[in-house]
Amino acid sequence: MTRFAAPIAEQIWNMKYRLKEADGTPIDATVEETWSRVAKSLASVEKKPAEWEPKFYKALEDFRYLPAGRITAGAGTNRSVTLFNCFVMGTIPDTMSGIFDNLREAALTMQQGGGIGYDFSTIRPKGTTVHGVAADASGPLSFMDVWDAMCRTIMSAGSRRGAMMATMRCDHPDVEDFITAKSDANRLRMFNMSVLVTDPFMEAVKADKPWDLVWDGAVVRTVQARELWDSIMQSTYSHAEPGVIFIDRINEMNNLNYVETIAATNPCGEQPLPPYGACLLGSVNLARLVHFPFEKSAHVSEDELTELVATAVRMMDNVVDASKFPLEAQAKEAAAKRRIGLGVTGLADALLMTGLRYGSEEAARQTEVWMKAIARAAYLASVDLAKEKGAFPLFDADQYLSSGNMMQMDDDVRDAIRTHGIRNALLTSVAPTGTISLYAGNVSSGIEPVFAYAYTRKVLQKDGTRTEEEVVDYAVKMWRDLHGDAELPDYFVNAQTLPAMDHVRMQAAAQKWVDSSISKTINVPEDISFDDFKEVYMEAWDSGCKGCTTYRPNDVTGSVLSVEPETKPEVIADENAGDVIYMTEPLDRPGELTGQTYKLKWPDSEHAIYITVNDILHQGQQRPFEVFINSKNMEHFAWTVALTRMISAVFRRGGDVSFVVEELKAVFDPRGGAWIQGKYVPSILAAIGGVIEKHMISTGFLAGEGMGLKTDPHAEVVNMKPKGNACSSCGQYTLRMVEGCMTCSDCGYSKCG
């Protein structure tokens, strides 16, 4: 009898969370062994591990409590990975050395698997004089490009690629460039971006007043606040970014506002953190806690919820002591405040099981009841931990209880904190749960509505073929099991039909009892008017949210929903696309090809590298067909052979292959690059990319350095018109925006983890 509620759940476990040897041989034979591994690891820091291990296992059992993926994948493995999901890096000094010291720290953090946030407001604006070097500053966006290139080369622990958040204050002189930066579909793709919006700015927007852009205490120029706000709105309306963070509200409501100031968040926005702040995540699965689903007596037992929350809080507090940290400053920050972020998943499913329509006023009230119960239970559990293990080191009863968030807490909880202290400074957050919600049986994600009742997923088989399987929402499957083919009740709604203001209502209801923040995406239809779109953000501000993220289908990031591609002529050329050719099968190699060989001498290397690029003339276009990379240095043998095979395979498929150059040139070597012909090259791989680019330019395939194909690179394949972008993990056109993360419904891949 399997514990998994759906095939995709077992596949996610096997791919993401199952402990394996380096060669892929499983160590965890079953999911029960995964639960045991995690329970044993987190109990090991207790004085009586044998007492707590079975209690921790019970919480994990049947997916009732879901630690964040980094904990499930990393706990008890003895591997050098962090169990923390969220980091905000140190304040970036406005000096060249300070900037690149911070870049190094970011690389180390991402290498261990952490997502990071940065406030770029501390870097002087473009054009400002740099004293002592007789030059003008290049501005924060130029350095963001450096961070972006770094992120593309750092693989996070496991199968995760790093994610980053960039913020900038609404009064920084470069904020207008920041707002529009991602209108270029090829720029800053590794960043989520949000504007830090202050209370005075929102007041100026409402009153249509002037707004000063300031640097170093001096006004650089003045704009109209409403025009700047409309610029933010137009940008996110057109290409889904930047998001908006109400930063003054975050600092006012912060339990720790007496010892820290927040200026950035983690990549998905649910964790506003101070410099070097770190937080770990976990979720109570409300969908597994509903008794008598779809009956009049359906309910979540408050006693059961309280017990589960208390155990989860203890487990998460233990993670603070069990985890490694990329940087010592992060370890000290975590130990001083012991932040945790306990949230929920399966909320929409739980509402359906109790007969409530997501987005309705009744559902919002029930959400507030559940979230308050979780908050109370979490705070009281942390008080009990303080009695046993001590309060967090920076606890000060008077200042802590005077913070904005604690002022609304029930008197009995406040009295307990005043008397005994509290172990964890902040306790609640609603994280993106896209992958763990699939692992739990495709429950609804976080506090999001059900995305779709069911969809067809393509599954890659061992022989390379793909089969189709239906993936059904957890609550919908339960309804079917109970009622067969009976029509779904009218209170079943999903993200495709839900009005935008219903999203905001649910976010605001949950936020009231969440002391950090919430990762939530408000999906809006493509045909929403601009004025209605702006109202979503204004309502989020007016209703007490700490931030707002929307997603409207657009030309840059594609559509939320995808259309499955059909099959395929062997060689396909679009008549409107000039010389761009797309092939589903590689071309046969002729007996003879023309090409050019280039010698690359890397400084301090004994042997040169020789790069041969051969071309083929196909349908009137000369295009690269294969590459050979050779060196007498045997240390280079394996990777040069691999690069030869991979690049040649890509070239033989046709299409826009200029991305090969782009990706190679973006690779940097942490040991340092080299100056070649008066130009700094960040790595030997980047140098190879430059050679290939040079060849493409000489044959006319590229118009110039960094310019891509000389003809339209956006040709559509005949009979193949998928909407949106392909998943970088499985290649399927099944990406959707969930809680601020592009997530693949076929393989579970998520940019944010």
Q: Which helix (H) or strand (E) holds 695?
A: helix 684-699
CA distances from 720 to 565, 716, 731 (A): 5, 7, 14
Q: Is 268 a catalytic residue?
A: yes
Which residue's entry shows tokens 């996070």?
156
Question: Can you spell out the DSSP letters for 586-614?
Answer: PPPPPS--EEEEEEE--TT-SS-EEEEEE
What pLDDT, on the 0 to 100 scale, is given for residue 567? 35
What pLDDT, on the 0 to 100 scale, is given for residue 563? 33
Is 644 within a domain? yes
- Say whether pTM exceeds 0.85: no
CB 117 within 8 A of CB 149: no
What pLDDT, on the 0 to 100 scale, is given for residue 679? 76
Is 686 within a domain? yes
CB 617 within 8 A of CB 589: no
Q: For the chain, how many residues are written?
A: 753
- What percent of the chain lies above the pLDDT cut of 70? 86
CA distance 233 to 69: 33
Is 633 within a domain? yes
CA distance 109 to 421: 32
CB environment 88-127: b (16+ within 10 A), e (fewer): bbbbbebeeeebeebbebbbebbbbbbbbbbbbbbbbbee
**Total Cβ atoms within 10 A of residue 610:** 16
CB 81 within 8 A of CB 94: no
Residue span of the structural domain in which 682 resides: 572-699
Pick from 165-179, 254-268, 458-472, 620-634: least confident = 458-472
Is 173 within a domain? no
CA distance 339 to 333: 9
CB 392 within 8 A of CB 425: yes
CA distance 255 to 414: 12
Is 310 within a domain? no
Smallest CA-to-CA distance from 86 within 266, 294, 269, 333 is with: 266
Q: Is 270 a catalytic residue?
A: yes
**Residue 461, C-beta contacts closer than 8 angstroms, at least 6 positions apart:** 467
Q: What band does 562 get if pLDDT is binned at 50, 70 and 90?
A: very low
Q: For the chain, how many structural domains are there in total? A: 1
What pLDDT, on the 0 to 100 scale, is given for residue 155? 47
Q: Is 266 a catalytic residue?
A: yes
**Total Cβ atoms within 10 A of residue 599:** 9
Average pLDDT over residues 125-130: 90
CA distance 473 to 463: 29
Which of 241, 270, 693, 739 does the annotation list as catalytic?
Answer: 270
Is 272 within a domain? no
- What percent of the chain lies above the pLDDT cut of 90? 60
What pLDDT, on the 0 to 100 scale, is given for residue 140? 96
Average pLDDT over residues 304-333: 96
The answer to whether the bond into 173 is cis (omega within 30° of 0) is: no
CA distance 28 to 76: 11
Average pLDDT over residues 270-288: 95
Q: What band does 645 get if pLDDT is binned at 50, 70 and 90?
A: confident
Which of 151, 268, 279, 752 does the annotation list as catalytic?
Answer: 268
Which of 266, 285, 424, 442 does the annotation list as catalytic?
Answer: 266
Is 127 within a domain? no
What pLDDT, on the 0 to 100 scale, is given for residue 195? 98
CB 149 within 8 A of CB 136: no
Q: What band does 729 get if pLDDT is binned at 50, 70 and 90?
A: low
Smallest CA-to-CA distance from 430 within 352, 491, 508 is with: 508
Which residue's entry shows tokens 């292959």?
657
CA distance 118 to 146: 13
What pLDDT, on the 0 to 100 scale, is given for residue 662? 82
Is 636 within a domain? yes
Which segments of 132-282 does DSSP mark as H helices, in order? 140-153, 175-180, 199-207, 225-239, 247-252
User: 358-394: per-residue pLDDT in tens?
Assistant: 999 999 999 999 999 999 999 999 999 999 999 999 9
